[in-house]
Amino acid sequence: MNKLLVISLSLVVFLSGCITTEKETDLEKIKGYCISACEAERKNGIDLSNGPCLLNPMPENPDWVCDVAHDPRQSADNLPENQCSAFRESISHHFVEVTPECNFIRAW
């Protein structure tokens, strides 16, 4: 009986680790898409200082948007026209924010 309990607990711990790692990997990909989109806009000479929405929603994962914000936040970051409409309208439920220099701020 003790062996069965140990095996069961080990399996639960193993599977929990795999699920967490998979979610973390997905988040890293989503962050990467946002950073890449930001870098592409900068390379094209687009001014990102007003905090535009970059991916609305992300083609790779439509439940996410990619938005530029300042760190620390500025008043322009709170303007609806500088926020992703897909998130405001609850089409997408998560966002990634990067700075105008394309540095990751947060994902929610």
For residue 10, is it within any domain? no
Domains held by the chain: number: 1
For residue 77, is it within any domain? yes
27, 41 contact by CB (below 8 A): no
**Containing structural domain, residue 102:** 21-107
For residue 28, is it within any domain? yes
Q: What is the pLDDT of residues 59-106, one digit of tens each?
A: 989 999 999 999 998 887 888 877 899 999 999 999 999 999 999 999
Identify the burial level of 20 via C-beta atoms within 10 angstroms of its C-beta, where 0-12 means exposed, 13-18 middle and 19 or more buried. Answer: exposed
Q: How many CA atoms lie within 13 A of 7 on its CB side?
A: 4
Q: How far is CA 15 from the centre of its chain?
A: 24
For residue 12, is it within any domain? no
Sheet with 53-55, edge to edge strand ranges: 53-55, 64-68, 94-98, 104-107
| Reported confidence tier of residue 9, pLDDT bands at 50, 70, 90 | very low
Cα gap 88→18, rounded to integer Å: 33
pTM of the model: 0.75
For residue 8, is it within any domain? no
Q: What is the gyration radius of the CA atoms in the chain, in angstroms? A: 19
